[in-house]
Structure 1
Amino acid sequence: MEQDEILLDAEERMEKAVDHFASSLTGIRTGRANPGLVDSIKVDYYGSPTPLKQIANVSVPEPQQIMIRPFDVTSLDEIAKAIQNSDLGMAPNNDGRVVRLNVPPLSTERRTQLVGRVKELAEEARVSIRNIRRDANKHADQAEKDKSMSEDDREQTKEKVQELTKKYEGTVNKDAEAKEKEVMNE
């Protein structure tokens, strides 16, 4: 692999790791209703687990309420069951046409647990970024052994990979800090 290929591959993979982390954060409650809270829920729809957003319209009519309007009204009971079985900690209200979720205010203990979860997700993202750095450095070392890259180019590549690592770890840290503040201040 050439220097540009190694750097491009590392940057793309680090970007994906940060995007995955950001999408994981949307599923963490902050005491305010957010359609992202139900994104990870899978509903048993005609025998196959289907993401909720593929079979229903999810909206937030009020700051403390999520409304789920299924495209097929017969799936209401399955949606309610999937929400009860999830780790959301909310009881669905099924009125025959829509499912409503009232988002209760968070207790201090629950906020602390959620901040801990944010920290876990951030650490997973940082580990992923570091693994990508390790892989890129291995490619650079291999390229030097294969004589397709000089020793100076290998060192320069490793420095640039380290810069990318710092950049993306910084993004993860900043996003995690913002989410922690959001969870604690709501």
Structure 2
Amino acid sequence: MASFMGNIPPLKDVHSQLKARFEKTVEDFRANLLSARTGRASVHMLDQVKVDYYGTDTPVAQVAQVTTPEAQLILVQPWEISLVGAIEKAIRTCGQGFNPSHDGRVIRVPIPAMTEERRKEAVKHLSGVLEGHKTSMRNIRREGNEQVKKAAKDKLISADDEKRANEEIQQLTDAEIKRLDDLFKAKEKELLTI
């Protein structure tokens, strides 16, 4: 689809900003989906887990090597042995129901098969995350419409251009929200399939 807004100089920046912000929102949602717990081990399950590293909340993957040697196990090998206890505590309290253990050097995080109840909880949680991201997209749309309205008020574009730009922003928003829905549906299917 050729962009109407991309061809009008006062709206070119608005269009590129909208696309970039929508893309960032989709990528953030994708990261949330990757970190969602399924019945199979994935290094991304710990992406949202942060550990106190010299006073800074730092993702586990930045202070340790995270691997999945087996389908039901995540191994976390901290770069500094002194972090073993803090990482184990962060994983235990992250709200995903993990029960890690360590031998003083390596943290083992067994991934038990998910119960039907846990699968439904995970879908419900991701549904809430989805709604939050959809709201973000609607806010981005509103800000884009406000920028177009300002350009029209400042006589940089005509009333017809304003109407077409608002329609294009709505189409762009609808397409991006559909991307979020499609990503969610695929993850929901993965979670509910035993």
Q: TM-score by structure 1 length? A: 0.95
> Where in structure 2 are the equivalents of 1:8-157 lying within 5 Å?
8-157=16-165
Corresponding residue for residue 186 of structure 2:
178
Q: For residue 80 of structure 1, report the CA deviation from its aligned partner.
A: 1.2
Aligned positions, number: 186
Q: For residue 16 of structure 1, report the CA deviation from its aligned partner.
A: 0.9
Corresponding residue for residue 5 of structure 2:
none
Matched residue SS, 2:95: coil
- Taking the aligned partners of 1:66 and 1:19, their CA distance within structure 2 comes to 24
Q: For residue 28 of structure 1, report the CA deviation from its aligned partner.
A: 0.9
For each residue in 1:58-81, what CA deviation from the matched residue of structure 2 results, as whole angstroms up to 9, or x when unmatched?
000000000001111222112112
- Taking the aligned partners of 1:161 and 1:170, their CA distance within structure 2 comes to 14
Matched residue type, 1:34:
S
- Taking the aligned partners of 1:89 and 1:178, their CA distance within structure 2 comes to 23
Matched residue SS, 1:17: helix
In structure 2, list runs of 5 or more residues that go unmatched.
1-8
Matched residue SS, 2:75: strand
Contact residue 59 and residue 68 of structure 1 kept, 8 A: yes
Matched residue SS, 2:82: helix
In structure 1, list runs of 5 or more residues that go unmatched.
none
Identity %: 37
Contact residue 83 and residue 90 of structure 1 kept, 8 A: yes
For each residue in 1:84-112, what CA deviation from the matched residue of structure 2 results, as whole angstroms up to 9, or x when unmatched?
22212111120222101000111111111
Q: CA 1:46/1:129 → structure 2, altered by over 3 Å: closer, same or farther?
A: closer
Matched residue SS, 1:142: helix
Matched residue SS, 1:140: helix
- Taking the aligned partners of 1:62 and 1:161, their CA distance within structure 2 comes to 46
Identify the structure with bigger relative contact order (alpha carbons < 8 Å, sequence gap 6+): 1
Matched residue type, 2:29:
F
Contact residue 80 and residue 94 of structure 1 kept, 8 A: yes
Q: For residue 141 of structure 1, report the CA deviation from its aligned partner.
A: 1.1
Runs of 4+ in 1 over 3 A off after TM superposition: none
Q: For residue 115 of structure 1, report the CA deviation from its aligned partner.
A: 0.7
